[in-house]
Amino acid sequence: MARDSEITVIDQAAEDGADGSDRRRFIRASTVLSARLLTRRGAFEGTVLDASLNGVKVWTAGDVPVGSAVTLVLAGAVHFGGTVVWRRGETLGVCFHDDPEKVASIMAALLPQRCLQVGHA
C-alpha cells in the first residue's frame, strides 16, 4: 500500500483550549488521507483531515447530511461504518460504529502508535 499521507499527533490542550475543555476519550492525529464516503446518495471523494479510534473529520464537496449512515473507505480496502454527526460547510465528522479496539487493529498502519491506545486521550 502506498502511503501518500501526512500524519501529526494533535496536542489536545493546544487544540481545544489550555484548560483541556474537550472531553475526548481518544487521541486525534492530524492527517491527509484520501478517502471515499459511500452513502445511499452515492459515493463521494474526500480527504480525512484528522482521525481517532472513534471517528474522523473529513473534507468533501459531496452532499452528505448529518445523520447519514456512511462507509468510509481508506486506501481502497479499509472500510469503516459510521454516522455523520456534524457538518460545517464542506467538513464533516463521522463517528465509527466499530469498537475502538477493532479500529485500532485496522488503523495500526495509518496512525501513530500513541493514537492507538484506547481510553488514553
Q: For residue 7, what are the contacts with CB-CB under 8 A and spacing of at least 6?
A: 29, 30, 31, 32, 110, 111, 112
Flag whether 108 is in a domain.
yes
Flag whether 2 is in a domain.
no
Residue 79 in contact with residue 65, Cβ under 8 Å?
A: no
Flag whether 82 is in a domain.
yes
Provide the domain count of the chain: 1
Flag whether 63 is in a domain.
yes
Q: Write out pLDDT tens, residues 26-59.
A: 888 888 889 999 999 999 999 999 988 899 999 9
Supply the CATH number for residue 17's domain.
Answer: 2.40.10.220
Flag whether 1 is in a domain.
no
Flag whether 84 is in a domain.
yes
- The residue with greater pLDDT, 119 or 53, is 53
Q: What percent of the chain is modeled with pLDDT above 70? A: 74
Q: Could you list the residue range(s) of the whole structural domain that residue 19 is in?
A: 7-116
Mode of pairing for the β-strands spanning 91-96 and 7-9: unpaired
Q: Give the predicted TM-score (pTM) of the model.
A: 0.74
Flag whether 121 is in a domain.
no
What one-character-per-residue DSSP string does 54-116 give? SEEEEE--S---TT-EEEEEETTTEEEEEEEEEEETTEEEEEESS-HHHHHHHHTTTS-GGGG
